[in-house]
Every structure is written in C-alpha cells, then in structure tokens.
Amino acid sequence: MNNKIKIILIIIISFIWGILIYQNSLGSIIKHIDTNNVHVQSNHGVRVPTQSIIKKDIVKQYFIAKYNNLYALQIRIGNYGRVNTSTLCLLIKNTNTNNILYSKCQNSVNFVNNALYKMKFNNQPNSKNQKFLLKIFSTNGTSTNSVALWSFTNTNHKNNKLYINNKLQKNNLDIIQTYNNNYSFSQSLKVIYQKLYQKNPYFFKGRYIYLIVLLYPATLFILLTIFEFLFLYKKSIKNIIITNLIIGILLFSINYYVHGVQNLSIPNVTIVTPQ
C-alpha cells in the first residue's frame, strides 16, 4: 500500500478517535450542563418562618417566570421538629392560561424539616414573563399539628407577591424556580469558563476537575495523532488496525475513570439567579 493511502487512513483514524475522545470527555460535561437546570431563588433578606398552615388558611405566592422551560418549583417547609399528620395541599397554576400544572394533597409526615420539597410538572416552553400562582392550604391543620412555610424578608415587589388570607405580605416564600437548560455549545463553554475563572483566592479549589476535562481531550488527541504518524506510518494495515484496537481499549478505560471522577467530583452545574 502506498504512503498516500496510509496517510489518508491514519488521518481518518485520528479523526474518528478525536470524535470519540470529545464525546467521552468534553462532550460529556457539555451534555451534563445541557441537561442541567437553572435555578432562580428569592435569596435576598433573612430567611424566616412565615406561619403555621392551619385549616382555613390560604397562602398564595405569585411570581413571574424569568426564563422559558419552567418545569418545577421547590419550596422550603418546616415541621417544628415534630411528627405532623395534617394534610397539606399544594397547587401550581399558570394565571396567563389558567392551566393547573400541579395539584397534590399529602400527609405532612412526608415533609423533611427545613428541607426543600420539589414539585415537578410538564415543561412550560413559553414560561418567560408569564405569571404563576403557588397556592398552599391545609384541610385539617391545627396549631399543634401543622407545618410552616419559610420566607425571605423584604423581597416583595411587583413581580412577586405573597398573600396570606388575602392580605399582602412584605416577604416572599422561600421557593426555587427550576428551568430546563437549553444551552448552545458556546454557552456551555462559557459556563465552564466562568467556573474556571470565578473569583476565588484559591485558583484550583473546585476548578481542577474542569481543567482536567478541558485539557484531557485536546492533549490526548494530539498525543494520539503524533503516535499514529510516528509509529504506525511505516507499519502494515494489519498492525495499524490491531494497534488501534489496543488503543481503543486503553482509551475507553481512561474515559471510564474520567467519567467516575466527574460523577464523584462535579455536582450539578447550576446558575442561581435572585428573583
């Protein structure tokens, strides 16, 4: 086989390896970001308990969605460190369309003290700038058998209003709006860049894994391409194929390890935006 065909073959093989390396390293973290969420939280002021939700109490939290693709709300609930058995009902409604997105009543014993409770519903692709209502009430709560809602002080404004028994409050409930991310490739790289160069006196704190994931595919591809041309160029097609099979096994072993490191070391990459 002439040298021109060998060069073309090695270039094709290197190109295929480059795609596989990308998909199993940098592509993996891009995908991780793409399928991740944007969280929006009212995190100004001081977190305080609002009040016990007893029978006949009606809590209404209105908010304007900041992005498209709203698909969940999380709300912080306190149980006073006791076992409550009252029924708490939660309803989420799009006030622009009057569609009820979520409606569920459940025993308060299911709520973990001071933890976030997540309510998922069908993705709302056009949710940006639309108004939503979170309604909370209890069918049988009492002062000794009820849960409380947490809120942030001084967060009420035109887009977010909290009413308790039709009375406007100064606070807003401690809720988190959760949106599906639809980042483009360039936006995903920007998020990684921001993670790498966020203001932090300790440069490698929380960043080393991103450096590994960014440098690993480029370095590996360059080394592999050099190896192909230096050591396989003069070999037969049979030796080129066998050697690349061995390289493949090694690459997937390394990628398996990198994936394990990612899963252990990288929490969900999120953007938390104040309401």
Residues 161 and 66 in one domain: yes
Task: Name the residue range of residue 120's domain.
Answer: 40-180
Residues 117 and 168 in one domain: yes
Higher-pLDDT residue of 91 and 25 is 91
| Mean confidence (pLDDT) of the chain | 76
- Measured at the CA of 24, the angle between CA 228 and CA 182, to 5 degrees, comes to 135
CATH assignment of the domain containing 111: 2.60.120.380
By the 8 A CB rule, do 95 and 141 touch? Answer: no
- Is the predicted pLDDT of residue 84 greater than 60, yes or no? yes
Residues 19 and 73 in one domain: no
Residues 53 and 111 in one domain: yes
Point out the domain boundary residue: 124, 150, 180: 180
- Give pLDDT tens digits for 21-69: 666 666 555 555 544 566 666 656 677 777 789 998 999 999 999 888 8
Residues 210 and 195 in one domain: yes
Residues 172 and 188 in one domain: no
- Give pLDDT tens digits for 152-210: 887 666 778 899 999 998 888 888 888 886 656 566 666 666 655 555 544 455 555 55
Point out the domain boundary residue: 156, 180, 204: 180
Residues 47 and 93 in one domain: yes
By the 8 A CB rule, do 195 and 210 touch? Answer: yes
Residues 169 and 45 in one domain: yes
Confidence of residue 73 (pLDDT cuts 50, 70, 90): very high
By the 8 A CB rule, do 275 and 66 touch? Answer: yes
User: Which pTM does this prediction carry?
Assistant: 0.59
Residues 116 and 171 in one domain: yes
- Is the predicted pLDDT of residue 87 greater than 80, yes or no? yes
Residues 173 and 44 in one domain: yes
Residues 205 and 91 in one domain: no
Residues 145 and 168 in one domain: yes
Point out the domain boundary residue: 137, 162, 180: 180
User: Number of folded domains in the chain?
Assistant: 2
